[in-house]
Amino acid sequence: MYPYQYDPRFQNLFPPGGGQGFPPPPPGGGGQGFPPQGGAQPPSSPPPAFTPTPKLGSGGPSLYAVDPGAISGCLYRYTYIWPRNGRPYWFYPTFVGRRSVAGYRWTGSFWVYAGVDVNQIREFQCV
C-alpha cells in the first residue's frame, strides 16, 4: 500500500470552514497525513501506467467550464486531469461540490489530499 501525506503546497486550497465548496481540511491541525473527515481513503495502489489522450484534440483552451455533475461520475475512480494551466496529473476524487472537487492527487510516488476549482479544469477523463 502506498502512503498518503499532507502536502503544504496545497494548504491554501482549503480555506477555514471549507469555503469555496471544499470540504473542511483534513483533521489533525491541517494535515499530518490523516484522511479527510468522512473516512475517504486514497487508493491502495498507484494510478494506471498509461496516460490518456485528451478528447478535445488540439489541446487548446476550452471556453466552457467543467460541469461538477459530469465529474461526479468519476468519484472513487482514477481520473486524469488536464488543468487550464499547469501539467496534467492523476487524481482520485472523493468529493464533488458546486464549484470544486477534492480527493487525492498522485505526486509520482504517493497520493496527497488536494482540491481543485472546477473552473481550473480544462478536461478530465476517468478510467
- Compute the distance between CA of residue 4 and CA of residue 42 in angstroms, rounded to an integer: 7
pTM of the predicted protein model: 0.69
Query: What pLDDT was estimated at residue 63?
Result: 58
Distances (CA, A) of 49 to 6, 33, 81: 23, 25, 15
Mean pLDDT of 65-94: 94
pLDDT tier, 59 (very low <50, low <70, confident <90, very high otherwise): low
Reported as a single tens digit per residue, the pLDDT across 36-46 is: 556 689 999 99
Is the pLDDT assigned to residue 29 strictly greater than 60?
no
Taking the alpha carbons at both ends of the chain, their separation in whole angstroms is 20
Is the pLDDT assigned to residue 31 strictly greater than 50?
no
